[in-house]
Amino acid sequence: MLALFVGLLLLVSLFFNCLGVLSLYRFPDVYTRLHGATKCSTFGTIFAIFALLLYSFARFMAEGESRFLVLFIHVVIGGIVLLISNPTGAHALARAAYRAGILPEPAVVDALEEANKRKREAAA
């Protein structure tokens, strides 16, 4: 019974991780790839974390050994670290890519480029 739910959560996790990897090959430029990679790999790993939480909680309830509770607490902290660090890293990468001069290749509108142009004209 426990293995069924754990397996379902792991399947969802692997599905989204696969999509994250696939998006790196299917999308045309840096920014759209960043969308797919960040969102899908974070969401996929969070579901793996949910599976671990369910597993350790169920084992703790069944056997009462404190090491499963320790596993639970550590996995919760790992999840929080992941949830903070992953989107921040993605934001840093996007900003660095933009400042390194890589423009969004198919783009309908680019407000940042317009703002930068206005700033350059004001300085000149």
Partner 1 sequence: MFVLVISFFVYLLLSWSGSMSIQEVTIAFLLAVAVSFVASGSSRPGFWSMRGLDPRKWWLFFRYVFGPFAAGLTQANWDVAKRVITGEINPGIVKFNPRLKTDAGRMMLANSITLTPGTLTVDIDDDGVFYVHSINLTSLTPTEQDVCGTFAQWARRLAG
Partner 2 sequence: MSLSLSQYLFAGASFVMAVLIVILLGRLIVGPTIPDRLIALDTVNTLVSGIMLLLGAVYDAVVMVDVAIVYMALSFVSTLYFARHLEGGV
Q: How far apart are CA 3 and CA 66, in angstroms?
A: 21
Q: How far apart are CA 52 and CA 54, in angstroms?
A: 5
State which of positions 21-80 bind partner 2 (CB under 8 A). 21, 24-25, 30, 33-34, 37-38, 41-42, 44-45, 48-49, 51-52, 55-56, 67, 70-71, 74-75, 77-78
Residue 16 interaction partner, one of partner 1, partner 2, none, beta carbon < 5-8 Å per kind: partner 1
**Binding stretches for partner 1 (CB under 8 A):** 16, 19, 22-23, 26-29, 31-32, 34-36, 38-40, 42-43, 66-67, 70, 73-74, 77, 84, 87-88, 90-91, 94-95, 98, 104, 106-113, 115
25 is written with which tokens? 């090959």
Contact 22, 46 (CB under 8 A): no
Nearest to 2 by CA among 44, 74, 61, 49: 61
